Amino acid sequence: MSAVGRRWVVSCVAVVAVLVGVAGAAGAWAIHYDRGNSGRLLPGTVIEGIPVGGMRTGDAVALLRDRIESPLHRSITVTSGVFRMETTPWELGLRVDVAGAVRRAQGQASGNAVARTWGRLFSHPQKVVAAAPRWNGGVLQRQLDHFAASIHTDPETPAIDASSGWLDFAPGRPGVELDREGSAAAVADAIQLNDANVKLVTTDVAPPSVRDAFQKVILVRAGENKLYLYEDGVRSKDWPVATGSASYPTPTGQWKIVEKIENPAWYNPGSAWAAGMPRVIPPGPGNPLGQLALGLDAPSILIHGTPDRGSIGYSVSHGCIRMLGEHEEELFNLVEVGTTVVVVNAAPPRPRGAAPVATDPAQNAAVNF
């Protein structure tokens, strides 16, 4: 090789060596630079409309918490009628993960150290990451469950007012229940509009109608000694009866029929007035309870037929309500178990004159029971 050729080769090798050295130094510097900036977001990074490019991740998280998460911790008041609760959008289930958004933004810095360094120094395309607050459905549903339980009231059934001695029927009051879908929308709207108050949406629960609650009601007016049947809130029938004596008055109040008895047997109650009477009087023509009886939830009180027809219209029993057999049969066929029975004192007890003299124990029971 000539001297010129040797000098050219040496020059080329020198140039290559210089270039390799420069590249190596540049690569080493790029690695050092990349490591030094690994905790920073790439220039041009925007999270939920907020520029955070070049910021350290911790600073970016703090900024996003102040701008995006902090409003979710503001106080709002949820109300419905007398119900009131202080809470926050966050507690209602509107959440955001700003740290996760920053991690996603960091993940966009892909490639090797040289590529990342080139991107940080010379290429600044905008990198957009979403971090909008989102509803946690489970949390919101649990809050709605709490609201629903706090607000719910059962409808009040119609009531009977017997203070006048007759029956008046007061309509029931509606109940209240939470409209879950409407309330969820109200919560979302209030938060979006930055409103400090949320009024929950409720619906009324209709009570039973008077007609449904009291299709038939029996009124017994002791002293007057008449039994009235109300149908659909109106007096429809009445019959004369015998009620309790002054010493053993028929208990006043509101009761229900709990049993319908055909061919009842009479059982000695064990009271002093029943001493000497049979332990049991089986069904039959002389039975003191007649052929049909309606048992009330008032202790030991029946509406029953009687063979002692002359007692009707008087206050003579030991608390039970006596009817003529044909009247008892008519009433028996008109009412069912569950029918309401109201007993009032309409007048002082009306004593009977001379009671018939009992000729046998069964007749004695009929006269007294």
- Return the number of other C-beta atoms located less than 10 Å from residue 105's C-beta: 23
> CA 279: distance to chain centroid?
52
Helix axes 113-121, 3-36, angle to 10 degrees: 80
String of DSSP letters for 304-361: EE-S-GGGTTSEEESS-EEE-HHHHHHHHTT--TT-EEEEEE-SS----SSPPPPSSH
- The answer for residues whose C-beta is within 8 angstroms of residue 195's C-beta and 6 or more apart is 76, 189
The residue annotated as part of the active site, out of 12, 146, 304, 327, is 304
Tell me the one-letter amino acid at 244.
Answer: G
List phi, psi (to 5°) of 236.
Answer: -115, -30
List phi, psi (to 5°) of 98.
Answer: -70, -35
What burial letters (b/e) apply to 334-348, b meaning 16+ CB within 10 Å? ebeeebbbbbbbbee
String of DSSP letters for 11-59: HHHHHHHHHHHHHHHHHHHHHHHHHHTTTBPPTTEEETTEE-TT-BHHH
CB 263 within 8 A of CB 291: yes
Please confirm, yes or no, whether 320 is among the known catalytic residues.
Answer: yes
3-state secondary structure of 283: coil
Tokens of 126: 């905008």
Please confirm, yes or no, whether 327 is among the known catalytic residues.
Answer: no
**Alpha-carbon distances of 365 from 70, 130, 284, 344, rounded to whole Å:** 85, 91, 13, 25
The residue annotated as part of the active site, out of 124, 146, 320, 327, is 320
- Which residues are identified as catalytic? 304, 320
